[in-house]
Structure 1
Amino acid sequence: MPTPQQFAETLTSIGISNNSHVIIYDSKNSSNAAARLWWMLKAMGHKKVQVLNGGLAAADRAGMSMTNEMSPVKKTEAYTFTNWQLPLAQLSEVEKKAMDKNYLVIDVRDAYRYNGESEPIDLIAGHIPGAVNIPFTTNLDEHGLFLSPEILRKKYEQELHTIPAENIIVHCGSGVTACHSLLAMAYAGLPIPALYVGSWSEWSRNNKPIACNS
């Protein structure tokens, strides 16, 4: 994670101010960089931020005009904020809470990675002992669009049981696609739980216990 000052400077450099209405998309159904940037803006308290449902592909299907040219950056006043305002979980906290029945650690990676069948990115396959697998792809329909807020809310209420948001930690491989599930929860009208930014990459390279289902 960048420091608040570093991220504020980056936003200013691309023409985003505290009052900007930011709409974000990417080329992966808005499930990759778009969801992470949405989370970062929400975490800094930005009020007007949205993600384009379905990303670039949805815009193309809708007949929106496309260009290969870079848009000019608009000059704006400096972005200001001092502290992240959404909860973050650290390695030591995850290790302590993963096996505690009062807490829930959610792994949003694909099932084959969670099960330890193979690992395309990190050096070790498997999952954090005690973590449950709710793949972020289950937030989407066959067209790559988010399920309705009603369906998402029902799904997560069933998965989360009665565990409150402050006792939930969400992670993925490197802290990016986990934000897609945090976005889905927010879209469903649910509170945003803690993000474990280090995720599986950090856990697996620090000699922590590893579980496999394969």
Structure 2
Amino acid sequence: MYTTLLSAEQLQDLMRSKARLMVFDCSFDLTDHAAGEKQYLQAHIPGAVYAHLEHALSDPPLPDAGGNLRPHADAASGGRHPLPSREKFAMWLSRVGFANDMQAVVYDRNGNNYCGRLWWMLKWVGHEAVAVLDGGLQAWQAAGGEVRAGPEPSHFQANFEPRRPLRRLVGTQEVARALGEPSLTLIDARAGARYRGEVEPLDPVAGHIPGALNRPFAANLGPDGRFKPAPQLRAEFEELLQGRDPATVVHHCGSGVSAVPNLIAMEVAGFAPTGLYAGSWSEWCRTPGLPVAKG
């Protein structure tokens, strides 16, 4: 069972062994929501199921009478990419044929930015056997892996059952109550300019949650697009935390997606699982009365 990362060669071995396996392509582009699926149809790992960030891995908010976006009543988080309820997500997994006894492998072609979302969500519904293809589609092709174009045949309906969550989801009020306390260490995965409030291309307010540390998610990868070695990741996170208790860490970003590579990197480094504030900056900055910092 693979639970964090696996290499292209390990995935090839799994596929040859005829293991109970499902591969998910999570490629996406925030500036062109149709681009990821087009890329999937041009080239993907044989048998891979496409997991669209907006349609499968989020519960898209709806505009209210004033034109403001509001999450569905049963959404598990707010922000630009609200998490669907665990039950709704389990229904999607069942529709694509994923079952509780399968190994899941997730990948993208975007520096692990989007596939981590599905990795975390599967852990959140109690599924331990899910791993990120280290290096994504690029590593698969570099290892001589076959790619296929066009749609894949549909899978038979499964009956995926949610189990006890294996990862911690944190909400806005929980973050607000603990702000400034030693029981909470926030790590913001956005690029430095967004964190400092110098630019904000996606949300109505620029800046960051007061006290949050900044580690852009791409800092976890080496020049080859793979996660850095565990000892190097551990040293970098220890330097960032400066003595703060790793058990207090809660990750966030703009909308809860690119925060997950930081969470995965801490686990690769040997730290215990940490929390995810899925609503992230996009929910925080839209919530009246909450403080904003810059610089």
Which TM-score tier does this pair reach, normalised by the shorter chain?
over 0.9
Residue among 119, 123, 132 paired with 2:213: 132
- Which residue of 2 is the match for residue 29 of structure 1? 111
Specify whether residues 6 and 102 from structure 1 end up closer, same or farther in structure 2 by C-alpha distance, changes over 3 A only: closer
Q: Give secondary structure in 1 for the equivalent of 2:250.
A: strand
Question: After the TM superposition, which residues 138-149 of structure 1 pair with which residues of structure 2 at under 5 Å, given as runs?
Answer: 138-149=219-230
Give the RMSD, CA atoms, in angstroms.
1.6
Using the alignment, how far apart are the partners of 1:187 and 1:166 within structure 2? 15
- Which residue of 2 is the match for residue 120 of structure 1? 201
Q: State the Cα distance separating 1:82 from its structure 2 match.
A: 4.7
Residue among 264, 282, 286 paired with 1:183: 264
Is the contact between residue 193 and residue 199 of structure 2 (CA under 8 Å) also seen in structure 1? yes
Q: Identity of aligned pairs, percent?
A: 38
Using the alignment, how far apart are the partners of 2:112 and 2:182 within structure 1? 33
Using the alignment, how far apart are the partners of 2:247 and 2:161 within structure 1? 27
Q: State the Cα distance separating 1:85 from its structure 2 match.
A: 3.4
Q: Give the number of aligned pairs.
A: 212
Residue among 74, 77, 100 paired with 2:155: 74
Is the contact between residue 98 and residue 131 of structure 1 (CA under 8 Å) also seen in structure 2? no
Question: After the TM superposition, which residues 50-89 of structure 1 pair with which residues of structure 2 at under 5 Å, given as runs?
Answer: 50-75=131-156, 77-89=158-170
1:10 aligns with 2:118: no
- Which residue of 1 is the match for residue 59 of structure 2? none
Using the alignment, how far apart are the partners of 1:101 and 1:90 within structure 2? 18
Is the contact between residue 29 and residue 53 of structure 1 (CA under 8 Å) also seen in structure 2? no
Using the alignment, how far apart are the partners of 1:161 and 1:75 within structure 2? 50
* Structure 1 runs not aligned, ≥5 long: none
Using the alignment, how far apart are the partners of 1:144 and 1:89 within structure 2? 29
- Which residue of 1 is the match for residue 241 of structure 2? 160
Amino acid at match of 1:124: V
Is the contact between residue 44 and residue 81 of structure 1 (CA under 8 Å) also seen in structure 2? yes
Higher helix share: 1
Q: Give secondary structure in 2 for the equivalent of 1:51.
A: strand
Using the alignment, how far apart are the partners of 1:165 and 1:76 within structure 2? 40
Is the contact between residue 127 and residue 163 of structure 2 (CA under 8 Å) also seen in structure 1? no
Q: State the Cα distance separating 1:103 from its structure 2 match.
A: 2.2
Is the contact between residue 4 and residue 82 of structure 1 (CA under 8 Å) also seen in structure 2? no
Using the alignment, how far apart are the partners of 2:120 and 2:225 within structure 1? 20
Q: State the Cα distance separating 1:109 from its structure 2 match.
A: 0.6
Is the contact between residue 102 and residue 163 of structure 1 (CA under 8 Å) also seen in structure 2? no
Is the contact between residue 254 and residue 280 of structure 2 (CA under 8 Å) also seen in structure 1? yes
Using the alignment, how far apart are the partners of 1:191 and 1:97 within structure 2? 20
Q: State the Cα distance separating 1:3 from its structure 2 match.
A: 1.6
Q: State the Cα distance separating 1:129 from its structure 2 match.
A: 0.8
Q: State the Cα distance separating 1:76 from its structure 2 match.
A: 5.2
Using the alignment, how far apart are the partners of 2:157 and 2:95 within structure 1? 9
- Which residue of 1 is the match for residue 284 of structure 2? 203
Amino acid at match of 2:249: I
Is the contact between residue 128 and residue 166 of structure 2 (CA under 8 Å) also seen in structure 1? no
More relative contact order, 1 or 2 (CA 8 Å, 6+ apart) = 1
Using the alignment, how far apart are the partners of 2:256 and 2:243 within structure 1? 25
